[in-house]
Amino acid sequence: MLDEPITFWCTDAQRWADVLAGARPAPAEYGPRQRSNEDTWVVGTFLQLARRGRAVRLDTAIPRSGIVVCDGIHLGAWRPPAAAFLVVCRSDAHRPGLAHHTVVQNGGMVLDGADGVVFVADSQPSRVEDNLDSFRRMRENLESFGVSLSGFPLVIQYNKRDCPAPIPTGLLEREFRLNGVPVFEAVAVDGKGVVETVRRVTQLIVERFQI
């Protein structure tokens, strides 16, 4: 079992200085401060888990070991320490057609060091083809590193479920024959479904590497 706290890597020390210093604001207080994918995935998830008494920490430094949850957009060419297990959360906040460059187009910079991936699909009907294209490119990048999706810690999240006429869950699973891959529905800006998603991909990493 993992006996170290899960680290949530925060790059905006100014915006979240109070949280880094130990404050634990309620959702009604920190919600309006969220401006980016990192705010939602990293800080928001950390606060939800911390307020529940879970073993988590928010830090601007990368630990040398343990599980690290981060937003892929800030990784660049950074490589995690050998004993650290990296969970990359793919942003779906970019404009259509961009293919979410941090995890997809520049897969060599991110996926090569990833030990688990949360693929976030946009539930808006207009984004179906973007979702399919992004997932296809992500799979190709993983395969270029000799990594098969079979057995790889992967979780799919259908985000923005509060949009009009959201696409049905199962779209990606059917298209890419993803039998048994955990799927979650979410409204990330409200924190719905985010904690559950991160918890599940973390469990998959723990099980795979027996940590």
Query: Looking at the domain assignment, is residue 37 inside a domain?
Result: yes
User: Looking at the predicted structure, is the pLDDT value of residue 13 above 70?
Assistant: yes
The pLDDT of residue 211: 53
Residue 196, CB half-sphere, CA atoms under 13 Å: how many?
14
CB-based contacts of 48: which residues, under 8 Å, 6+ apart? 27, 191, 194, 195
Predicted confidence (pLDDT) per residue in 99-158, tens digit: 333 333 333 334 555 678 888 888 999 999 988 988 888 888 778 778 888 888 899 999
Read off the DSSP letter of residue 12: -
CA distances from 78 to 70, 108, 114 (A): 12, 11, 11
Residue type, 199: R
Domain count within the chain: 1
CA 35 centroid distance within chain: 16
Q: What is the DSSP string of 136-151?
A: HHHHHHHHHTT--STT
The pLDDT of residue 80: 57
Predicted confidence (pLDDT) per residue in 157-177, tens digit: 998 999 999 999 999 999 999
Q: What is the DSSP string of 30-82?
A: HGGG--SHHIIIIIIHHHHHHHTT-SEEEESS--SEEEEEEEGGGTTT----T
Query: Looking at the domain assignment, is residue 125 inside a domain?
Result: yes
Predicted confidence (pLDDT) per residue in 41-55, tens digit: 788 888 988 888 888
Query: Looking at the domain assignment, is residue 32 inside a domain?
Result: yes
- Asked if 103 contacts 72 with a C-beta cutoff of 8 angstroms, the reply is yes
Query: Looking at the domain assignment, is residue 121 inside a domain?
Result: yes
Query: Looking at the domain assignment, is residue 141 inside a domain?
Result: yes
Q: Phi/psi of residue 8, each to 5°?
A: -105, 120
What is the span of the domain harbouring residue 106?
Answer: 6-209
Query: Looking at the domain assignment, is residue 1 inside a domain?
Result: no
CATH of residue 141's domain is 3.40.50
